[in-house]
Chains A and B, each alone.
Chain A
Amino acid sequence: MVKPQVAGAVTANARVDRTSAIELVDVAKEYTVHGEVVHAVKGVSLDIAEGEFFSLLGPSGCGKTTTMRMIAGFEDPTRGVVRLYGQDVTDVPPNRRDVNMVFQSYALFPHMNVWENVAFGLKRRKVAAQEIKTRVGEILEVVGLTGREKRRPREMSGGQQQRVALARALVNRPRALLLDEPLGALDLKLRHTMQIELKRIQREVGITFVYVTHDQSEALTMSDRIAVMNDGVVEQLAGPREIYEQPATAFVAGFIGTSNLINGTVSAVDGAHAVLSLGSDDRILIPSGSAPGQGEAAVITVRPEKITIARQRRDQEVSQVRGTVSEVVYLGTYNSYVVTLDGGAEVTVFEQNAMDGTSTAERGDSVWLSWRPQHSYALRGA
């Protein structure tokens, strides 16, 4: 169960400066394992702008890491082109690409202390000793590790190691930073602190972040844009609000939080709305722009928190369906209901908790669910 967190997210497409930082053109990667071809990434095209916080979101094994590794240069794409700042780098080795990667497992150098780890990249680029000193000092300050310079990685907590990994990449001032589930190993509280920290650093330093995660609330709260991946392809590429409110496919709808899917047939199309009929009094209104034609089958999604649960039918131009409450779960600030529609579909409804803590309906009650037409989305590819 995931609470919607889009409210605070920035719809920042407009803010982003449109210089292209990272560009993937129909990039694919195949591995051969025991003579069998594995299609890890099946033709991904992305155009990530300079200064953007861009997330790759998707379930385990969908190709996020592989995509990232092709940007960093650790994997040669089977086909396609990788460009950094307009320059084709498909055949350029990782040490000559101006991007840095923060590994999922941190990959700190175990035989070097914090200072040596962070200074590694600058030394390789023959930066003057005095400048190395200032820059390493500065970045350790930023990640809050001043005074821990002499520690070895194994003498630090997971969160501290993570910050060393971050500092080691940031100190080089790369034009883009690739982060592969950098918060994966942290507990919830530290994870939240680091999310805010990362966002702050990104804003302050102003570099492009490509962020891999399989945590959808993390992606929704932090990103300017999100590419939702599934099985080696990008299912949807949009801002967090759009991904959440208007999932383009059934997969995206299902993956991003709890979502209700309802099947029906379009019975009428008038000026503004198409009508999906389920039963005698039930009808679902869909904005006609996104609706299929009359007589066609359709699948619509609606978010649990957009639905109002009531004892009576409302006399308004809204979607209205009838069902029976089959489950009530008290979840702190809100109640969650599972309502079985007369047609058999199960719909989840979140209801903000009333002041007195009572719930609108109990198990077994017959209820009406209603929501506004603009909260129904007809899915493509469903």
Chain B
Amino acid sequence: MRRVRAALAPYLLALPGGLWLAVFLVVPIATMASVALQTGNLMDGFSQTFNIAIFGEVFAQYHTQFLRSIVYGGIATVIMLVVAYPMAYWIAFKAGRRKSVYLFLILLPFFVSFVLRTISWGFLLADDGIVLAPLRDLGLIPDDFHILATTTAVIGGLVYNFLPFMVLPIYVALERVDPRVIEAAQDLYAGRFQAFVRVVLPLSLPGVFAGVLMTFIPATSDPVNAQILGGTSNTMIGNIIYTEYLVNNDYPAASALSFMLMAVLLIGIFVYARALGTENVMEAAAR
């Protein structure tokens, strides 16, 4: 009896987590796949037709936005990395006793809703907003100078909104680096730069890795920034999915696009993890 219970224990322990995954992950994905393979419209109803061709059709129609999303997400992620690393480094090593204050400041924007924050940027950057209007009146910028409805505005919005998700994991990784290890590097004839490149940077890579994932994925699929800060030429795939679903009520197209976005991101993550696995990079640094 006891043997049976012991053999069952791992499965019983996995049950709550398994149920959670089933309800909140497997069921929605299966539903999404099934909806994608239906045909019909809101009036006449939808029927399961296993229309595989839909993936090709939506991709042909929206590949521009697909590509644009990945490019915007990628650029925003790179900018975030460049901005966040020094911030995290400074907080971890130089902020001294005020560390928690700076961390709080980084989290502060989260106390206001994501959409509201983005709308505020819309007001600030508007052509007749409180920044551009006075500058134009003073003749400091040309009349046809815009920020809103440009690529810059959308990428800027993505960077602004997701930056904390880059700073925090890098900060945590840097914070865990034993200062004695850095001193050991200096003791062994490494100057500041060598100590950083050979020791601090490789040890912080798990944080960089996590930060990139935590920002690239939401930035690529985000509809809000393009919607509020972008114009017609800046639509991202998130906006298309949103429109197809809620405006056109073309549920199969929206589901097919969502499914493809997910697949692209998963493949991307897999390739990224393989190519930039922290082990590989650390080995390179030890050389």
Contact = CB atoms under 8 A, between A and B. Distances in A.
B184 A107 contact: yes
A100 interface: yes
Contacts of B183: 74, 94, 101, 103, 107
B194 interface: yes
B3 interface: no
A72 B187 contact: yes
Nearest to B184: A107
B227 interface: no
B187 A101 contact: yes
B16 to A, nearest CB: 32
A109 B184 contact: yes
Nearest to B194: A124
A109 B181 contact: yes
A100 B187 contact: yes
A168 B286 CA distance: 14
A93 B189 CA distance: 10
B282 interface: yes
A172 B188 CA distance: 8
A15 interface: no
B178 A120 contact: no
14 contacts: A96-B189, A100-B187, A101-B187, A103-B184, A105-B180, A107-B184, A109-B181, A109-B199, A109-B286, A110-B181, A112-B282, A120-B188, A124-B188, A125-B189
A154 to B, nearest CB: 13
B186 A112 contact: no
Contacts of B202: 111
A116 B187 contact: no
Given A112-B286, A113-B286, A124-B194, A107 B181 contact: yes
B185 interface: yes
B94 to A, nearest CB: 17
A146 interface: no
A103 B187 CA distance: 10
Interface of A: 72, 74, 93-96, 100-101, 103, 105, 107-113, 116, 120-121, 124-125, 168-169, 172
* Pairs of residues from A and B, 9 with the lowest C-beta to C-beta distance, nearest first: A121-B188, A107-B180, A124-B189, A107-B184, A111-B282, A116-B286, A112-B286, A94-B186, A95-B186
Interface string B172-207: 000000101101111111110010001100110000
B188 A100 contact: yes
Contacts of B15: none
Contact of A111 (B189, B191, B286): B286
A107 B180 CA distance: 6
B189 A95 contact: yes
Contacts of A110: 181, 203
A111 B177 CA distance: 11
A111 B203 contact: yes
A93 B178 CA distance: 20
B129 to A, nearest CB: 46
A95 B187 contact: yes
Contact of B188 (A74, A93, A111, A168): A168
A63 to B, nearest CB: 18
B285 interface: yes
Contacts of A113: 286
Contacts of A101: 183-184, 187
A168 B187 CA distance: 11
A23 B235 CA distance: 70
A351 B203 CA distance: 57
Nearest to B181: A107
Contacts of A124: 188-190, 194
Interface string B144-183: 0000000000000000000000000000000000101101
Interface in B263-287: 282, 285-286
A172 B186 CA distance: 13
B178 A105 contact: yes
Given A101-B184, A120-B185, 16 more contacts: A72-B187, A95-B188, A96-B189, A101-B187, A103-B183, A105-B180, A107-B178, A109-B184, A109-B198, A111-B285, A112-B282, A120-B198, A124-B194, A125-B189, A168-B184, A168-B188
A24 B184 CA distance: 22
B189 A121 contact: yes
B202 to A, nearest CB: 5
Interface string B46-65: 00000000000000000000
A108 B184 CA distance: 8
